[in-house]
Amino acid sequence: MIKVIKKITFIIVLLFVGFWIWYEYTYSMDTVIPFELNNPRLNTKVLIASQGSKFKDSLVKEILRTYEKDTIYFKVVDVYTLFTINLDKWDAMIFINSWEYGSPPRNIKNFIKNYPDQLEKIIVLSTVGSSHITLKDIDVISGESIIEKVPDYTKIVVNQLNQIINKK
């Protein structure tokens, strides 16, 4: 009887580990390799903090392509490196990430809490598949990670970014 219980326990643990590995492989985001566009000495500076995925990478590329002839310095970093970022040095910041269970990752919440007087500089695009998510004092753009919708989301983000830049 004890051998049967051990076998069943082993099979359950094995199934759980297998499911976890499959889930991580299928749904986890890639790490974003930081890069810069244009000269950091330019007057307008925009930081994009993103996760890596086909959709998010395409969105970042389209945003950068929109501004490629402008005199704006862009830096793209992985969203999980926010603890190294000082928002005071940036004119605008764009978060592009996935929220799980309708809530932003803890590092984004903590980052935003550290800059309550600069929330007007932040644009958040969350790929959660729902339009009913909110973040206190920040408008959140939300939707599905559908590659065909990249141009639509690009327009929305660019419009918001233009408003921030023009206020400067």
Give the tens place of pLDDT for each residue, 69-82.
899 999 999 988 88
Distance, in Å, from the CA atom of 6 to the CA atom of 9, rounded to the nearest integer, reads 5
| 87 contacts 93 by C-beta, under 8 angstroms | yes
Exposure string for 126-164, b = 16+ CB within 10 A, e = fewer: bbbeeeebebeeeebbbbebeeeebeebbeebbebbeeb
pLDDT in tens, 113-140: 899 899 899 998 888 654 455 555 555 6
- pLDDT tens sequence across 39-68: 999 999 999 999 888 889 999 999 999 998
Which residues have a Cβ under 8 Å from the Cβ of 1 and sit 6 or more positions away?
Answer: none
The secondary element (H helix, E strand) that includes residue 113 is helix 106-113
Question: Which DSSP letter does residue 138 get?
Answer: B
CA distances from 157 to 10, 98, 99 (A): 49, 16, 18
Return the amino acid letter for 74. Answer: F
Q: Is the pTM of this model over 0.85?
A: no
Q: What pLDDT is stored for residue 26 in this prediction?
A: 47
